[in-house]
Amino acid sequence: MESGKIYHVKPSLAASAAINAARHRLMSNHAVTDADGFWHEEARRLDWIRVPELAGNSSFDGDVRVSWFADGVLNVSVNCLDRHLDQHGDRVALIWQGEAEDDSRTLTYRQLHAEVCRLANALRALGIRKGDRIAIYLPMVAEGAVAMLACARIGAVHVVMFAGFSASGIADRLVDCGARLVITADAGRRGGKRVPLKACIDEALSLASTSEASAGHKVEHVLVLRLTGTEIAMQPPRDLEFAATVGQQPDQCEPEPMGGEDPLLLLYTSGSTGKPKGLLHTTAGYLLWARFTHEAVFDYKPGEVFWCTADIGWVTGHSYVVYGPLANAGTTLIFEGTPSWPEPGRWWRIIDKYQVASFYTAPTAIRSMMRDDPKFLAATSRKSLRVLGSVGEPINPEAWLWYYHDVGGERCAVVDTWWQTETGGIMIAPLPGAIAQKPGSATLPLPGVVPVLVDEKGQELSGEAEGHLCLGRSWPGQARTIWGDHARYVQTYFSTYPGYYFTGDGARRDSDGYYWITGRVDDVINVSGHRIGSAEVESALDTHDAVAEAAVIGVPHDIKGQALFAFVVLKASNGAAGIEAELARHVGQVLGRYAAPDTVLLAPELPKTRSGKIMRRILRKIATRDTAELGDTTTLADPAIVQELIKRLEARS
């Protein structure tokens, strides 16, 4: 099989790389033998108001503390903007390509700086201060990046929410973080259609205002950007026009001096239980990690055009659309549209149009474009590309090879990057000038990253092994806590294997020390690179009147990686016709369309142990029609259920 093949570092890439194999060895040794010294050296590449004396001060035991550069003082927006003005003020910082071909815009560092300052001044004029939370609910427009940087400038904590979340999903997050202000747009554009955003915020705010958890706290203002001319209901004095509010403000704004450990951002992500959790990233460590990893993993050279296709609502968009590229004085590309609208090949044309050097996307998108008519790819040159990145889920060797051969013309390094919202940035990945690639493997840890494989009992495994992936040491980009619930943070990440951070992923280490991520080992399902907790979808189903009980699992899917499969027990034995589709729609309304199950199977009961625990292992077998060998079913309270479910599924197809 070709997937067993090694793709050696290209001499052309190694020759110009900031990090070649020798330097990589040196850095990795330094980071192990003198971690504080190593990270201090990296920290010197940031712009400080006060240079830190302290580096790491973390403990994974007991209460768990993660702290980096706590006595340093800096401002993230200064690092991403002001610092570059002298030498690169006229360099393009941001290219925005709209969904319509002729709709595009570029902002130089000077222009971006001015826009950020104006919005930062406007926020201050509205009474926003250091530590206040600001929610951002915008489509892929330049103002998304402007809003994030404006918050960072005045020390407000931004909470970007994916524009695909539903009103109730937004409401939960607004209440949890206690946002004072929301920045949104009238509507977004997607595939030639309009996606209402302001209307969704209106609904979310009315839900939030009646939520007990809000404890009287409320959003004071909504700043509304006019993008599409969609009619919306403005509610003065709460709602304010973005242009009028920001336009009159001066284009200079005094940056807030921030402590290294002051909060920078919250990002909500799903776990195996309960509601989404707001992970907190802080100022110095997060910025350092975004800058360092962006430069190292993409061998990024200032002046090159860098394109990460992720939505800014996810962590990838934070670290590799906004903070990494801008901290490196780079040019970042933001594309509003989808890969195949108005026709396939749109992404390839954009790569040629802007001479993109690094392209970073998800396996689900790669697999879907692999299925397009090859003429669309063939119509483009893609000669500007040097590095092709993949993130979000394991990339299957077939997709890897297509990416390498067909998209990259065998000239590019393919970097499969493993990381998580919790890690702030890339943790395991091949560096283009230093590490040979194997299709399907994220390869080796970055300097200072210490992956550990443990068995079920928490015993550390050495050499070639397969087990649960943990991280043995803190790194600067690590999430510090779950907002408002440090106990949950300790419980979720540090209690399974005491002394280690547990990632929730399984992995194998081969004889070369390469890591192969095998997927989640908890009840988190990865659909098209979006993390969805089975418990979240189950609770959403439970809120439907007809539902008595539900169990949701992930099943393999050719394009999405995994798809959601829901087993639902109804309250009355006969549901109305079409209830399956209605339940899927209902989940879409409660959580957002991305979380609507592909399959809903009505079940008379769920297979449970005598103590009442749902046997998901059996549900997985049933859903994947892998029922020849069901394993031990003797602990089931009612083994007949299994045959009934198999029969029902067969009857459907």
Q: Where on the chain is the footprint of ligand WT7 (CB under 6 A)?
A: 269, 315-316, 391-394, 416-421, 442, 503-505, 517, 520, 526, 529, 531
The DSSP secondary-structure symbol of 394 reads: P
Question: Rounded CA gap, 612 and 606, in Å?
Answer: 10
* Cα Rg, the chain, nearest whole Å: 24
Q: Which residues contact 210 (CB under 8 A, 6 or more apart)?
A: none
C-beta of 368 vs 417, nearer to ligand WT7? 417
325-342 per-residue burial string, b: 16 or more CB within 10 A, e: under 16:
bbbbbbbbbbbbbbbbee
Question: Rounded CA gap, 583 and 575, in Å?
Answer: 11
Beta carbon of residue 71, minimum distance to ligand WT7 (angstroms, whole number): 30
Angle between helices 283-297 and 35-43 (to 10 degrees): 90
Question: Rounded CA gap, 147 and 145, in Å?
Answer: 5
Beta carbon of residue 529, minimum distance to ligand WT7 (angstroms, whole number): 6
Beta carbon of residue 606, minimum distance to ligand WT7 (angstroms, whole number): 26
How far, in whole angstroms, is CA 91 from its chain's centroid? Answer: 28
Residue nearest to ligand WT7 (CB): 421
The DSSP secondary-structure symbol of 395 reads: P
Beta carbon of residue 36, minimum distance to ligand WT7 (angstroms, whole number): 27
Beta carbon of residue 531, minimum distance to ligand WT7 (angstroms, whole number): 4
Beta carbon of residue 161, minimum distance to ligand WT7 (angstroms, whole number): 14
Token reading at 438: 């194997």
Question: Rounded CA gap, 510 and 183, in Å?
Answer: 47
Residue 415 DSSP SS3: strand
Contact 300, 306 (CB under 8 A): yes
C-beta of 172 vs 311, nearer to ligand WT7? 311
Question: Rounded CA gap, 467 and 518, in Å?
Answer: 9
Token reading at 40: 């201090």
C-beta of 366 vs 606, nearer to ligand WT7? 366
C-beta of 232 vs 414, nearer to ligand WT7? 414
Token pair 């190694």: residue: 14
The DSSP secondary-structure symbol of 385 reads: -
Beta carbon of residue 628, minimum distance to ligand WT7 (angstroms, whole number): 28
Beta carbon of residue 561, minimum distance to ligand WT7 (angstroms, whole number): 9
**Strand boundaries in 304-456, DSSP class E:** 305-308, 331-335, 356-361, 387-391, 413-417, 451-454
**Strand boundaries in 399-500, DSSP class E:** 413-417, 451-454, 460-461, 465-471, 481-482
C-beta of 445 vs 529, nearer to ligand WT7? 529
Beta carbon of residue 427, minimum distance to ligand WT7 (angstroms, whole number): 9
C-beta of 276 vs 330, nearer to ligand WT7? 276
Phi first, then psi: give them for residue 611, nearest 5 degrees.
-90, 5
Handedness of CA 536, 537, 540, 545 (dihedral sign): negative
Phi first, then psi: give them for residue 350, nearest 5 degrees.
-65, -40
C-beta of 77 vs 361, nearer to ligand WT7? 361
C-beta of 525 vs 587, nearer to ligand WT7? 525
Beta carbon of residue 81, minimum distance to ligand WT7 (angstroms, whole number): 25
Count, residues in the chain: 653
Greatest CA span in the chain, whole angstroms? 74
Beta carbon of residue 530, minimum distance to ligand WT7 (angstroms, whole number): 7
C-beta of 330 vs 440, nearer to ligand WT7? 440
C-beta of 391 vs 619, nearer to ligand WT7? 391
Beta carbon of residue 637, minimum distance to ligand WT7 (angstroms, whole number): 32
Residue 35 DSSP SS3: helix
C-beta of 300 vs 515, nearer to ligand WT7? 515
Could you tell me where the DSSP H helices lie in 371-449?
374-378, 397-402
Count of C-beta atoms within a 10 Å radius of residue 653: 5
One-letter amino acid for residue 579 of the chain: I
C-beta of 221 vs 468, nearer to ligand WT7? 468
Contact 566, 541 (CB under 8 A): yes
C-beta of 202 vs 505, nearer to ligand WT7? 505
| Strand pairing category for 515-520 and 501-509 | antiparallel
Beta carbon of residue 526, minimum distance to ligand WT7 (angstroms, whole number): 6
C-beta of 92 vs 524, nearer to ligand WT7? 524
Beta carbon of residue 436, minimum distance to ligand WT7 (angstroms, whole number): 17
